[in-house]
């Protein structure tokens, strides 16, 4: 998303939105802005964590640039730019609050088991 051409970005976002169109359930809609914010946040967090486990901690300036550039992923998921936390400090506050409120259901544990096995 960050380095693709405008056409590549459009194809990716179009495919994502088509896939999300039918994902609805009891009180859930995959196109919900808050749900998309959480998806973008988990992708950002896991990418940075993975990178830092392999290559070491990002330098502050680079970490800030990565964070700003990653906002492209969030806005591609139809998250309004103003909903993406303004900086890494605001992201940490958002992340910690969301993680604290997570409830892991038996269904989620089953999916995790399937993925990890």
pLDDT at 33: 84
> pTM for the whole thing?
0.76
**Block residue for tokens 């969301």:** 98
pLDDT, one tens digit per residue, over 18-48 is: 776 666 666 666 668 888 899 889 999 999 9
pLDDT at 5: 84
pLDDT, one tens digit per residue, over 55-88 is: 999 999 999 999 998 888 888 878 889 999 999 9
pLDDT at 10: 81
| C-beta neighbour count of 41 within 10 angstroms | 21
């Amino acid at each position: 998303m960050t380095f693709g051409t405008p056409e590549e970005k459009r194809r990716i976002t179009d495919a994502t939105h088509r896939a999300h169109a039918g994902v609805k359930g009891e009180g859930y809609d995959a196109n919900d802005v808050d749900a998309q914010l959480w998806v973008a946040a988990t992708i950002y967090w896991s990418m940075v964590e993975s990178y830092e486990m392999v290559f070491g901690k990002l330098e502050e300036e680079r970490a800030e640039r990565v964070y700003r550039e990653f906002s492209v992923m969030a806005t591609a998921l139809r998250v309004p730019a103003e909903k993406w936390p303004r900086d890494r400090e605001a992201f940490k506050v958002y992340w910690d609050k969301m993680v604290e409120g997570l409830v892991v259901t038996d269904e989620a544990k089953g999916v995790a088991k399937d993925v990890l096995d």
